[in-house]
Amino acid sequence: MSDTIRILGLDPGLRNTGWGMIASTGTQLSYIASGVVTSDGKDDLASRLKSLHDGIWEIVRAYAPDEVSVEETFVNKDAQATLKLGHARAMSLLVPALAGLPVAEYGANQVKKTVVGVGHADKKQVQAMVRILLPKSTPPTADAADALAIAIAHAHQRKARNLAADMARRPATGTAGA
């Protein structure tokens, strides 16, 4: 019986949605693939969202992940940009849900803290740690490297959640009043 879990990380963006596939077996992480799903900035919003939907669907179909992790939206001062990012993020949540896959969400600082050890690490530090943790990885863009970092964070976080769940299920040992 294999305890390998295939994790797809998604870094949503309306123009470029980064993706990264890893396998997690025990404490071992291995690189599978990474890339970017793009939409044409000249197209209307509906067409761009369809491009993202179709691209993410193709990745899910081709790589058959067991679980998906998505970066949460970073809210900035530009409400329009945040709203557009939210639309792209919706595609990153919807496609795996339609495929019946569990989806976890992580904030950018949580991903950075998990992967680098510092919640406010810069992109270069994240990319360097991705290369260390996944030495065979060849992410073509920063978006793809970020998606791999999201998948790595999920692999580590799921182990912690599973350990906590196992501990909660174990009966208490010892004797009272002995």
Q: What is the mean pLDDT of residues 119-142?
A: 89
Q: Is the pLDDT of residue 44 over 90?
A: yes
**With left for phi above 0 and alpha for psi between -120 and 50, is residue 177 left, alpha or beta?**
left
Q: Is the pLDDT of residue 26 over 70?
A: yes
Q: Is the pLDDT of residue 174 over 50?
A: yes
pLDDT at 1: 42
Q: Is the pLDDT of residue 31 over 60?
A: yes
Catalytic positions: 11, 71, 143
Q: What is the mean pLDDT of residues 148-158?
A: 94
Do residues 56 and 92 touch, judged by C-beta distance below 8 A? Answer: yes
Q: What's the rounded Cα separation, in Å, for the pair 101 and 94?
A: 10
Q: Is the dihedral of CA 49, 52, 55, 60 positive or negative?
A: negative
Which range has the worst mean pLDDT, 116-120, 141-145, 146-150?
Answer: 116-120
Residue scoring higher pLDDT (116 or 77)? 116
E-state strands within the chain: 4-11, 16-25, 28-38, 67-71, 103-106
pLDDT, averaged across the chain: 88
Do residues 75 and 82 touch, judged by C-beta distance below 8 A? Answer: yes
